[in-house]
């Protein structure tokens, strides 16, 4: 039983397992799945912009946004963009990062902001509010919660992020 449990564990049990060799950085699961490098890069940039925009609207600190972006890159270093919806993964990373920074926002607020940003992305000038009891709200809610669980599972609950800000300040003085 013990051997079976050990074999089922992901290989990234500690923080240092998130330092990837150059060949793994170049050959991500998305690229192995047929996603071109330029497309993957654009998706990552768009997802980081979505995280920043949502963090601003949710009044989250910059540290939560930075943590969410690190989590997003870790997820897509382990999983393909063909398997995970990029915008849902981005907003789920932000929701999880806000919890980790002890600045949690309600899932309802997160769904509202995500809905608003998706409508702006589609080119709608005056986005409609997300109705609380609507099917769309419950769909967003379910997707975000499910994706959060998948992220936690994929990361084996190792979510520690060492922010570089404190080191940068030391070098500036």
* pLDDT tens per residue across span 147-167: 999 999 988 887 777 776 667
Identify which of 132, 79, 126 has the alpha carbon closest to the alpha carbon of residue 92: 79
pTM: 0.81
Distance, in Å, from the CA atom of 113 to the CA atom of 121, rounded to the nearest integer, reads: 12
Q: Is the dihedral of CA 97, 100, 103, 105 positive or negative?
A: positive
3-state secondary structure of 126: coil
Q: Are 95 and 110 in contact (CB under 8 A)?
A: yes
42-77: pLDDT as tens digits: 999 999 999 999 999 999 998 899 999 999 998 998
Q: For residue 14, what are its two tokens? A: 């500690």
* Number of residues written out for the chain: 173
112-128: pLDDT as tens digits: 999 999 999 888 888 88
């Amino acid at each position: 039983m013990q051997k079976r449990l050990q074999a089922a564990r992901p290989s990234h049990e500690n923080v240092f397992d998130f330092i990837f060799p150059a060949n793994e950085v170049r050959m991500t699961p998305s690229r192995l799945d047929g996603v071109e490098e330029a497309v993957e890069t654009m998706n990552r940039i768009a997802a980081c912009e979505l995280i920043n925009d949502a963090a601003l609207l949710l009044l989250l600190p910059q540290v939560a946004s930075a943590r969410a972006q690190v989590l997003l890159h870790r997820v897509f270093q382990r999983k393909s963009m063909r398997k995970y919806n990029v915008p849902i993964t981005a907003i789920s990373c932000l929701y999880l990062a806000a919890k980790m920074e002890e600045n949690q926002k309600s899932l309802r607020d997160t769904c509202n902001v995500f809905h608003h940003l998706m409508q702006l992305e589609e080119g709608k000038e005056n986005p409609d509010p997300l109705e609380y009891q609507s099917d769309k709200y419950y769909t967003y809610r379910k997707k975000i919660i499910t994706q959060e669980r998948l992220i936690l599972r994929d990361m084996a609950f190792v979510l520690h992020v060492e922010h570089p800000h404190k080191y940068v300040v030391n070098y500036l003085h």
